[in-house]
Structure 1
Amino acid sequence: MKFCSECFNDTEIKGVIDKIDNEDVCDITGKHSKHIYDTAKHIVLREYFDELLNIYTPISEIVQNIDKEKTVKIKYDLLNNDWDIFSSTCKHSDVYKIIKNICSERYEETPELFNEDVIIRELYDEKYKSEHSLLQNYTWEEFTNSIKCCNRFHSHHLKLDILRKACLASTKKYSKGEIFYRGRISSAEGLPVEEMSAPPIEKTIDGRVNSAGIRCLYLANNINTTINEVRAGIFDYITIGTFELLEDIIVVDFRKINKISPFIFALNGLDLIEYALNKPYLNKINDEMGKSVRKSDSKLDYIPTQYICDFIKSISLDIENLPSKFMGIEYNSTLCNDGYNLAIFEPKLFECKETKIYQVQSLKYNTNEIQ
């Protein structure tokens, strides 16, 4: 079988295929490409998928009673539910054919793995879940209540080593010279570049990433996102500063922490089953990082994400010619669909180069009737 990188979403798989020098036509898309993976010639993806298939068990091999609704078929799980490996243009039948041809020997040995409903056995093992779950036996609500109301600095609800692994698999590099933006409501005269960075310690209030008194520079990826994040009123003036990165940095990309390629874990000897178990919790962290804040919300609501970000600051990195620690986090903007934010732990890493003044001319509200 022959297929191209357009059949996949997974960046690791796309990268492998795009390095193959083999000109042909893709059996799935019908497109001509210079980089075609041919299962009759190439075997590199076999190791990738064998590693992933190893975590699944056919339902016929399970003795205990399993809720049928919690089982899946390989072609559905790999396409839709958990791993986001294949392109949305691929049909379930396409996924089945691709996996079957990549892992042809595995299919001959255990066809039930491809054709029956399957489960990840360990997800039904209470002892395994207790030892390998990010939240152990707690719920997210129990963790947040404990850290807000009982023990703020020494929580035992999170397994921090698991969070560390997920963060290390979600790194993103930014190079010196990259541009981001920050906005502040101002007068018509605007604000000078000297007043556009993070406020001084005595004026630093609680934020999604930082506690009061701990400086953090909140930036956005473009001007439109910046304007939305400022939440200005009609006819308000906004000063927007253009910030330039002064040196290479590494951040945790929370936008992809719940979309980590399973092949990164497999190739680095990390625990795929552990990741599958914790994916819902990583989804929750991702949601909380980008959660829209209302004026009525309590400052206590920031504490869980502040705790997580303080832990991220403590993680050591070993990447040549780069800082030995994370310098910030990246997360989705809830106020601008195509935008994202960058929270920088050390504001001096960015310099405001210029400012421009904008005035809000109109506002548009979208509402849902809730009662």
Structure 2
Amino acid sequence: MEQLESLDELRQRIDQIDTELLGLISARARCAQQVARVKLSDDANAVFYRPEREAQVLRRIMALNPGPLAAEEMARLFREVMSACLALERPIQVAYLGPEGTFTQQAALKHFGDSASTQPMPSIDDVFREVEAGAVNYGVVPVENSTEGVVNHTLDTFIGSALKICGEVVLRIHHHLMVGQNTQRQKISRIYSHPQSLAQCRKWLDAHYPMAERVAVSSNAEAARLVKTEWHSAAIAGDMAARRYGLEIIAEKIEDRPDNSTRFLIISTDDVPPCGNDKTSLVVAMRNQPGALHALIEPFQRHGIDMTRLETRPSRTGVWNYVFFIDLKGHREDPVVAAALEEVQLRAAELKVLGSYPVGVL
């Protein structure tokens, strides 16, 4: 009897806390509305989403988090509160590589929250065009996978685009084998998925479906759509695609590497001020001469700047010429980074800063 009374007391306490939370969240939402009015009174074209500010808020929450919830889980909760409050100011329009149910859509929602309005695009080029035209505020595109490497089309598109990188998000990728309600599981002879997903699940497929035809399609979501009404096929896709197309997952987490993850970039027309924990991406074309790579790297090494990625791509302007894509720690406005970039500018045939942006929080 004492245990039941104790449980009842705990429930009353939870109800009281929920009431307090409701009041605090509502107060935060009203404050967000006031922020919108202040911004609009100062500038009719005010920017409502500030990547550097949101990164600072989320990092502060994670640092202050007392538990027992994990810091990242607490940040996810605040991300959704911030997303809903931002939607009161002005809903964010985000284009992503579609169709619905792709990992890119999942990355967009992870970064912007469920209150953002996401719009699927048929190709990476279309995502760039929508942002450039001002039809949406931001775009989300994949740039590299921990298993299969860089997405070359994304890197190549940046060369001819004026858009800036304003953020990044890393998504842990879990692939599942799924079927429609008409599928005869013992007769699966065809498996659809994106080429990279097929490659990321190669060992599992060799062990479990060595005779099944592997059919590459434009996206995992498209694979899920195709198998919905077929009786002899399956798809490799993620949770969101399974829910979107009403499929049953018959094998979970079939990726060959348990740490499989994909990095996505957030693109926009705006530069982002420093937040204190930033990354800078640039593309550099060096003159075709001996020691070019050393001349490119030496200023960063001398200034103590950490280069986190260096990719080489063939240049579109000449045979056997190459451009270098570089990620480094720090913001372009940091004095040390600015000094190194100035030196590289003098040595390079061309240097283009793709953006400085907060290091991904979630």
TM (norm. structure 2) is: 0.24
Compare the two structures and name the one with the higher helix fraction: 2
| Higher normalized strand content (fraction of residues) | 2
